[in-house]
């Protein structure tokens, strides 16, 4: 099934993540039976000139091969800053293109510039710059998890670059089922009646609605008033919902949590309505200061029960120690499955479709 040999590589920012993906890939017979080489995770070398300029060198041949490059420009295991990580990524794609790789697939679980997507103001558009640079340097396929907004997907010309944005919420929904729902009976008798999913703001209403529909549960909408003259600033939060909150198990859902200002205000506003418990589910755990302190305070005050996040953004030990209640859901197996699907040219509909709790509990191997 594999027409061209496969090489999996990584920038310094995601080496251990890519290595874990390779471990899962070794179990796929369709790839092991090919001539594909999936052991190239550490084949890139970053050098520095005396004046600080960067150069990336390739320590093996990739001529005629398909290369999957894992990367992130967010907080990472190598403790590399955002701008340095971007420059390293751009240099890496350049060296792969110069080395005549057949196809370059950039796998960027979290796109750090995804919130810079507004095109109506006098400002630069970070995600457009990022995608344009990747494509101009030679990327022909980009894979992400849960991009911040659907409109960002229109910034890529599909004739120049294939784009796959995989819903990270499906991974977290599966985890919720695995850890909180025993069977269909509990889903029908408890979840349908006693659970509700809540948006962080009006913009995430569709996300909360999809969760509510997936679990056939209630829906709560929050309205957030921002001060757009300052980043990460929330003026007020209002709860807009006919759904009764008292006695409910609430799940606040969003694609990311950064400084934690929005969710902290929302948790406190919801707590006044006396729910049974409040949980938070997010794909990308940025947790920029003072988020760890805010989250820790919510747990210590008994206002927050669970915080479920994926590993799309690296969480260092100091954050995990401080916020010991964080439940980290690994995505490496899913990433390996996505690569397998690309290699074998199978349909991705099962990875893209909206999660259905009843279907999953009847057939747990949905993914």
**160 and 175 within one domain:** no
Among 166, 187, 220, the domain-final residue is 166
Mean pLDDT of 173-177: 97
Question: What per-residue confidence (pLDDT) applies to 204?
Answer: 86
- Domain count along the chain: 2
Residue pLDDT, tens place only, 340-358: 999 989 999 888 888 999 9
pLDDT at 36: 45
Element (H, E) at 132: helix 126-137
Tell me the mean pLDDT in the region 113-130: 90
What is the model's pLDDT at position 210?
94
- 31 in Cβ contact with 6 (< 8 Å): yes
* Top-confidence residue, 361 or 239: 361
Q: Percent of the chain scored above 90 by pLDDT?
A: 75
What is the structure's pLDDT at 70? 97
Alpha-carbon gap, residue 27 to 17, rounded angstroms:
17
Same domain, 76 and 134: yes
Least confident of 130-139, 218-227, 246-255, 326-335: 218-227
Q: What is the pLDDT of residue 235?
A: 52
Give residue-wise pLDDT tens across range 229-248.
Answer: 555 554 556 776 666 899 99
- Neighbouring CB atoms inside 10 A of 49's CB total 8
**Rounded distance, CA 255 to CA 245, Å?**
22
- Give the rounded distance of the alpha carbon of 72 from its chain centre: 11
Chain centroid to CA 275: how far?
Answer: 28
Q: Is the pTM of this model over 0.85?
A: yes
pLDDT for 181 equals 96
Three-class secondary structure assignment of 223-270: EEEECCCCCCCEEEEEEECCCCCCCCEEEEEEEEECCCHHHHHHHHHH
Please report the pLDDT score of residue 35 as a whole number.
41
Q: Are residues 206 and 251 in the same domain?
A: yes
What's the pLDDT tens digit per position in 23-69? Answer: 998 877 666 434 445 666 778 999 999 999 999 999 999 999 999 99
195 with 206, same domain?
yes
Range(s) of the domain holding residue 291: 169-330
Question: Is the pLDDT score of 259 beyond 60?
Answer: yes
For residue 242, give Cα distances in angstroms to 108, 185, 218, 221: 39, 26, 10, 9
Q: What is the pLDDT of residue 81?
A: 97
- Whether residues 178 and 304 share a domain: the answer is yes
CATH number of domain containing 201 = 3.40.50.2020
- How far apart CA 49 and CA 55 sit, in angstroms, is 8
Q: Smallest Cα–Cα separation from 341: which of 41, 24, 9, 61? A: 24
Instruction: Look at residue 367 and tell me if it is in a domain.
Output: no
180 and 157 within one domain:
no
Using the Cα atoms of residue 85, residue 89, residue 95 and residue 99 in order, give the sign of their dihedral.
positive
Q: Are 58 and 44 in contact (CB under 8 A)?
A: yes
Whether pLDDT at 299 is above 90: yes
Asked which of 146, 166, 186 is the last residue of a domain, the reply is: 166
Count of C-beta atoms within a 10 Å radius of residue 132 = 16
For 97-101, 179-183, 321-325, 334-338, which range has the lowest pLDDT when averaged over its residues? 321-325
């Amino acid at each position: 099934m594999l027409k061209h040999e496969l090489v999996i590589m990584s920038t310094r920012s995601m080496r251990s993540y890519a290595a874990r993906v390779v471990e899962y890939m070794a179990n796929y017979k369709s790839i092991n039976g090919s001539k594909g080489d999936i052991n190239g995770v550490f084949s890139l070398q970053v050098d520095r000139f005396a004046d600080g300029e960067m150069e990336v060198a390739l320590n093996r041949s990739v001529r005629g091969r398909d290369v999957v490059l894992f990367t992130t420009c967010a907080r990472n295991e190598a403790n590399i800053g955002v701008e340095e990580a971007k420059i390293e990524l751009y240099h890496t794609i350049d060296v792969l293109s110069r080395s005549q790789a057949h196809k370059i697939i950039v796998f960027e679980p979290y796109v750090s510039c995804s919130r810079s997507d507004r095109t109506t103001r006098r400002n630069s558009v970070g995600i457009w710059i990022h995608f344009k640079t990747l494509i101009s340097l030679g990327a022909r396929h980009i894979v992400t998890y849960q991009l911040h907004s659907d409109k960002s997907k229109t910034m890529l010309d599909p004739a120049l670059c294939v784009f796959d944005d995989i819903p990270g919420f499906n991974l977290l929904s599966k985890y919720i089922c695995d850890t909180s729902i025993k069977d269909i009976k509990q889903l029908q008798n408890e979840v349908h009646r006693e659970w509700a999913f809540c948006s962080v703001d009006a913009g995430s209403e569709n996300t909360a609605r999809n969760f509510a529909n997936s679990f056939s549960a209630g829906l709560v909408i929050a309205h957030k008033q921002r001060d757009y003259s300052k980043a990460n600033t929330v003026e007020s939060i209002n709860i807009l919902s006919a759904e009764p909150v008292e006695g409910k198990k609430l799940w606040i859902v969003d694609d990311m949590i950064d400084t934690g200002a929005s969710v902290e205000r929302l948790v406190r506003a919801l707590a006044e309505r006396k729910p049974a418990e409040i949980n938070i589910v997010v794909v990308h755990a940025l947790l920029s200061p003072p988020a760890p302190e805010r989250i820790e305070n919510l747990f210590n005050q008994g206002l927050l029960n669970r915080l479920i996040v994926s590993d799309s953004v690296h969480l260092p030990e100091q954050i995990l120690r401080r916020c010991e209640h964080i439940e980290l859901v690994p995505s490496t197996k899913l990433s390996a499955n996505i690569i397998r699907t690309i290699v074998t040219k199978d349909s991705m509909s099962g990875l893209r479709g909206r999660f259905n709790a009843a279907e999953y509990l009847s057939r747990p191997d949905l993914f």
